[in-house]
Chains A and B, each alone.
Chain A
Amino acid sequence: MINKVIELSEQNLYACYQCGKCSAGCPSVKLMDIMPNQVIRYLQIGKPDKVLQCKTIWICASCYTCSVRCPRGIDLTRVMEAIRLIQLRKNIDYIKVREISEDVLVSVPQIALVAEFRKHTA
């Protein structure tokens, strides 16, 4: 699994020395079930299930904060995308589009909806 993620993200996950700077600065970390640095950690120690089942990869909104600060130059944004894609390509959606309320649909800007569908559905 780690090799698949490395291939899709073009990031060397072995370079991560677990300093945690990604997690420390992540604006969405409060709602995550595992820390962004732990996403890499579980892949490093060969526990991909933890990563595939976590909420973290779906909460990550590609804000690139971790990417610009990583001392080892790992673009974690791309790592998260790779893991999401591994799930989505099994045709497993993270959200059910039909369950989005009418209220939300009419109020949020299109960019929010398109982005949501791109990131959270197969």
Chain B
Amino acid sequence: MEPRIGVFVCHCGINIASTVDVKRVVEAIKGYPGVVHAEDYVYMCSDPGQELIRSRIKEKKLNGVVVAACSPTLHEATFRNTVSQVGLNPYRCEIANIREHCSWIHTDRDKATEKAIKIVKSIVEKVKLNDELLPISIPITKRALVIGGGIAGIQAALDIANAGYEVILVEKNPSIGGHMAQLSETFPTLDCAQCILTPKMVEVGQHPNIKLYNYAEVEDLSGYVGNFKVKIRLKASYVDWSKCVGCGVCMEKCPTKVPSEFEMGLTTRKAIYVPFPQAVPNKPVIDRENCLYFKTGKCRICEKVCTFGAIKFDEQDEFVEEEVGAIIVATGYELYPIEKIGEYGGGKYKDVINGLQFERLLSASGPTGGGVQRPSDRKVPKRVAFVSCVGSRDPELHKPYCSKVCCMYLTKHAMLYKHRVPDGEPIVFYIDIRSDGKGYEEFVQRAQEEEHVTYIRGKVSKIYEDNGELVLLAVDTLTGEPLEVRVDMVVLGMAIVPSPAVYELAKKLKIQIDANGFLTEAHPKLRPVETLTPGIFLAGCAHAPKDIPDTVAQASAAASKVLEMFSQKELQHDPMVATVDEDRCSGCGVCVTLCPYGAREIEVKDGKRVAKVNEAKCEGCGSCIAGCPAGACQQRNLKDEQLVNMVKAVLE
């Protein structure tokens, strides 16, 4: 095919034109071999810009297009779509990046223009040898996996299930509900967390489209977008849930007491337990670590008292495999451990507690029935300090980021404390109040104006116990006065950190985590619920600290991304994948080792070992091509010959 290439140079307003002499680029490329047309336009991605490209293709009978503009990650799809509207194969259109790779990073106009010309020439060389390609079609399993049964996972699962698709929900704890189930009331409306959450939990438990695996963990994942295979470990609960009716006699009679995770250690549970009364499913598990029988070989009281014969001490972990097309990761958060804050006692003072512990003290279903009593002596505290930014916004010693919810929940705590203990004195220590959600600022103002909560601007430096009181060494930075504040109890707004298990899970799912252990989104602004691995989405605090409204919104967004996928007959995959010249391939298998996507395998064909490419899995990274010792691998539209010509064009 005789090349008839058109070059379209974009000004991008002044983004490119202020540094690159666009007219000169056009002039320089006009006489280049294979180029039959070149022109510039102020915004090539605009409607008139795209129309210009379409009409020139028709007029000049172009069979290849180079758009010299911004990065292909932004507008490659746009322009490929543009050219295909007038019958040109989209893969005959390429982007020459003269913005991110040139105008934005240089200041010398002359040299930048020279560089832009070279970039354009090299892309022209590429287009000359580009084949006309068709996208690869992939079948799709329209069933979703949601990992994590907190409010994010619950919301996402319900949205997908209500749209008519099956959902597998995996929760590591005995019950779904997550941290939200522990909360007393929620800011800024003060509605009861349990009251708004439990209907959703029940809905999940009863939904015909949701298969719930509680007390289970994702063991392994294989496959690719649309076609994942997931192996799930069902942890032995030592209780046959099909026989158990949830009468609770076993829990009553069990002699072993263990600090309750749900009650944040403020009270105990038994070794056979349901984490909380509204648990879904409401079936007990035996905690093997602490069970007397597992520790000493004696006891089995639960077995004796169970009239339904539901106790099974010989149960083992089991594995199930499920096929799914899309995955939502919603593994949630934990609080940064108080042990790391030495200057606040590092956990040695009973009456210095974290926010979730205080939630339990406020909760009507909590260990004190909602009456605020301090842990050490059950005394009603008359003065309580609430300290924000504990571990957050501290890049030197702890976590650099803002945990986002502490300002609001500490305000709520101060307010609820005042409601429970009307003559009590709440003091909030803050450094900035972040109240950016709907109704949040009004909520903080209400705490100050109506509830007379004292806010002191300054970070507490040290907390110690003296004579049954806690002493806070503090400062009021607004008056410039040092303070020594004595209180009965301290609530620390600990930093939010990702659930520790997410690190292992991310490795299994081949998704990325950031420096702080949170899951990385595909684009911070435009693809906030997708990971870089196609078909895997994220929601909730596994991604970053966020409040309930944001978590629910993100969960619904992730669900809608899944539904978008499921609304298609099949998935389309980029055809720029690796190919194998079977005559040259020696079957050495280097490509299989190198491929990060598991897309390469060895096949025996007519008695000869040859490498194959699973086109659906291949992401076109090029590792196998670079690594192939026989030179048997090529990548479509990035063939050796093209690369050589491109390099020559640059070096000319």
Contact = CB atoms under 8 A, between A and B. Distances in A.
Direct interface between A and B, CB < 8 A: yes
B23 interface: no
B395 A20 contact: no
Nearest to A33: B480
B362 interface: no
Interface in B230-263: none
A17 B397 CA distance: 15
Given A19-B458, A23-B477, A24-B460, A71 B393 contact: yes
B475 interface: yes
Interface core residue of A18, A23, A30 (most chain B CB under 10 Å) = A23
B506 interface: no
Contact of A73 (B393, B395, B483): B395
Contact of A19 (B395, B431, B462, B480): B431
Contacts of A26: 461, 482
Contacts of B458: 19-21, 23-24
Contacts of A22: 461
| Band of interface residues on B | 20 to 34
Interface string B469-496: 0000111010010110000000000000
A71 B480 contact: no
A24 B461 contact: yes
B396 A71 contact: yes
Contacts of A72: 395-396
B343 interface: yes
B473 A25 contact: yes
A34 interface: yes
Of listed A22, A35, A70, A73, residue having the most chain B CB within 10 A: A35
A20 B475 contact: yes
B308 to A, nearest CB: 56
B382 interface: no
Contacts of A35: 475, 477, 480, 482
B346 to A, nearest CB: 13
A71 B482 contact: no
A20 B343 contact: no
A1 B483 CA distance: 30
A71 B475 contact: no
Contacts of A18: 431, 477
Contacts of B482: 23-24, 26, 29-30, 35
Contacts of B460: 21, 24
Interface residues of A, number: 22
A69 interface: yes
Contact of A24 (B389, B398, B473): B473
Contacts of B395: 71-73
A69 B482 CA distance: 16
Contacts of A38: 480
A23 B461 CA distance: 8
B477 A37 contact: yes
Contact of B459 (A34, A65, A71): A71
Interface in A96-119: none
Contacts of A73: 395-396
B477 A69 contact: no
Interface in A74-116: none
Which of A17, A25, A65 has most B Cβ within 10 Å? A25
A35 B482 CA distance: 8
A12 B562 CA distance: 47
Contacts of B394: 71
Contacts of B477: 18-20, 23, 35, 37
B457 interface: yes
A19 B431 CA distance: 6
B602 to A, nearest CB: 53
Contacts of B343: 25, 69
B396 A19 contact: no
Interface string B326-342: 00000000000000000
B336 to A, nearest CB: 13
A20 B460 CA distance: 8
Nearest to A72: B396
A116 B396 CA distance: 31
Contacts of A65: 461
A38 B475 CA distance: 12
Contacts of A21: 458-461, 475
B475 A24 contact: yes
A50 to B, nearest CB: 12
Given A73-B395, A73-B396, A25 B461 contact: yes
Interface in B477-527: 477, 480, 482-483
Interface in A1-50: 17-26, 29-30, 34-35, 37-38
Contacts of B474: 24
Given A20-B475, A20-B477, A35-B480, A25 B462 contact: yes
Contacts of A17: 393, 431
Given A24-B461, A71-B394, A71-B397, A19 B473 contact: no
A24 B473 CA distance: 6
Contacts of B475: 20-21, 23-24, 29, 35, 37
A80 to B, nearest CB: 17
Contacts of B473: 24-25
A19 B461 CA distance: 10
7 contacts: A20-B457, A21-B475, A23-B475, A24-B482, A24-B483, A69-B461, A72-B396
Interface of A: 17-26, 29-30, 34-35, 37-38, 65, 69-73
Give me the 3 closest cross-chain CB pairs, A-B, nearest first. A25-B461, A73-B396, A24-B461
Given A25-B343, A71-B395, 16 more contacts: A17-B393, A18-B431, A20-B431, A20-B458, A23-B458, A23-B475, A24-B462, A24-B482, A29-B482, A34-B480, A35-B475, A35-B482, A38-B480, A69-B343, A71-B397, A71-B459
